[in-house]
Homo-oligomer: A and B are copies of this chain.
Amino acid sequence: MMDAAAHALSDPTRRQILQLVRDDESTVGEIASNFPVTRPAISQHLKVLVDAQLMAVRPDGNRRYYRARPEGLTDLRAWLDSFWRTSLRNLKVEVERERWNELKDESQHRGLDDG
Residues A12 and B3 in contact, CB atoms below 8 Å apart: yes
Residues A87 and B15 in contact, CB atoms below 8 Å apart: no
Give the nearest-CB partner of A10 in chain B: B10
For A10, the chain B residues whose CB sits under 8 A away are 6-7, 9-10
- Chain B proximity mask over A8-27: 1 for CB below 8 Å, otherwise 0: 01101001001100110000
Given A6-B10, A10-B6, A70-B88 in contact, is the A19-B83 Cβ separation under 8 Å? yes
For A90, the chain B residues whose CB sits under 8 A away are 22-23
Q: Which residues of A are at the interface with B, using a C-beta cutoff of 8 A?
A: 3, 6-7, 9-10, 12, 15, 18-19, 22-23, 68, 70, 73, 76-77, 79-81, 83-84, 86-88, 90-91
